[in-house]
Amino acid sequence: MLRTIFTSTGNFYLTLLNLLYPQDCLICSNRIHEAKAARLCGPCNDRIMRYADTPHWSFTENGLAFDAAYHVAGYDDIVKRCICLMKYNGKQDLSKILGGLMSEYAEKNMSFNDIDMFVPVPLHPVKFRERQFNQSELIAGHLAKRFNKKLENKWVKRIRYTPQQAGLSREQRLRNIKGAFLVRQDADFTDKTVMLVDDVMATGATLHECAKTLKSAGAKKVFAFTLARGN
């Protein structure tokens, strides 16, 4: 019986872990039987609206500083709750699932050959202290590891504490975030192609400001890669 489970799932370690320490799904609370990444059951995982077969990207429009932005899944209930649980309830494990979704999409639709490094959108130190981690950095870390790229998480700083962007118009968001990022003096973005990573892109104001800062520091191209496109 066990042998069948192990061979059928093809993931001995996670199956064993699930048998020894059964976990409940963070979304529906049902017991997890599948040997997938921890914390989300198979049915909930399957309900995520993946864009893998219908690539979603938006090219530079309306003067945004990044060259293209790629999005992986619909900002539906499950993705929203996963992001909320990760950011506000300290469920850092979920970054593995979300990073996995982004890898899945990238394997099908993207090439990172020209990418020099993955850069997570940084959090302001005050927010970082509150949360204890930066969700974008965790996700970018999974991607960098998976695609064997450099994770650069020290060169860009968030120097201005900005109020929540939700509820603001595009123009207000662009104003609100202006001057929020700074590139460290010892950083070297000259002629580099950068993949900025964030959890959600709404109007793109934050990614725009970050990309603008990187380009002022010499970056040749800046792409944005987010889990979802929100509002």
Which residues here bind Zn ion, judged by CB under 5 A?
25, 27-28, 41, 44
Nearer to Zn ion, 47 or 131 (CB): 47
Closer Cβ to Zn ion, 32 or 227, answer by number: 32
| Closest listed residue to residue 73, CA positions, set 40, 43, 103 | 103
Nearer residue to Zn ion within complex by CB, 21 or 59: 21
Q: How many CB atoms lie within 10 A of CB 190?
A: 9
Nearest distance, CB of residue 38 and Zn ion, angstroms? 12
Is the Cβ of residue 41 or residue 195 nearer to Zn ion in the bound state? Answer: 41
Following DSSP, what letter does each residue of 70-124 receive, concatenated?
Answer: EEEE---HHHHHHHHHHHHS--TTHHHHHHHHHHHHHHHH---TT--EEEEPPPP
Minimum separation from the CB atom of position 40 to Zn ion (A) = 6
Q: Which is nearer to Zn ion, 24 or 114 (CB)?
A: 24
Q: Where are the alpha helices (DSSP H) in the chain?
A: 2-9, 12-20, 42-47, 77-88, 94-109, 125-131, 135-146, 170-177, 205-216
- Rounded least distance, CB 173 to Zn ion, Å: 33
CB of 23 to Zn ion, least distance (A): 11
Query: Residue 157 CB, nearest distance to Zn ion (Å)?
Result: 38
